[in-house]
Amino acid sequence: MRRASAGAEGLSAVAFALFTVGLLAPACSNKMDPKECIKVKETAFETINQASVCSNDADCKPSEWPGCAKPLSLAGIEKIKPLREAFTKGQCEETKLDCKPPERVYCQEGLCAFRYKPAEPPGGGMKIE
Give 56-109 pLDDT, tens digit per residue. 999 999 999 998 999 999 999 999 999 999 999 999 998 888 998 888 999 999
Are residues 113 and 105 in contact, defined by beta-carbon separation less than 8 angstroms?
Answer: yes
Cβ neighbours, 10 Å, residue 39: 18
- In whole angstroms, give the CA distance from residue 103 to residue 84: 22
Model confidence, pTM: 0.63
Are residues 110 and 91 in contact, defined by beta-carbon separation less than 8 angstroms?
Answer: no
pLDDT value at position 79? 94
Kind plus residue range of the DSSP H or E element containing 62 = strand 60-62
Phi/psi of residue 76, nearest 5 degrees: -65, -40
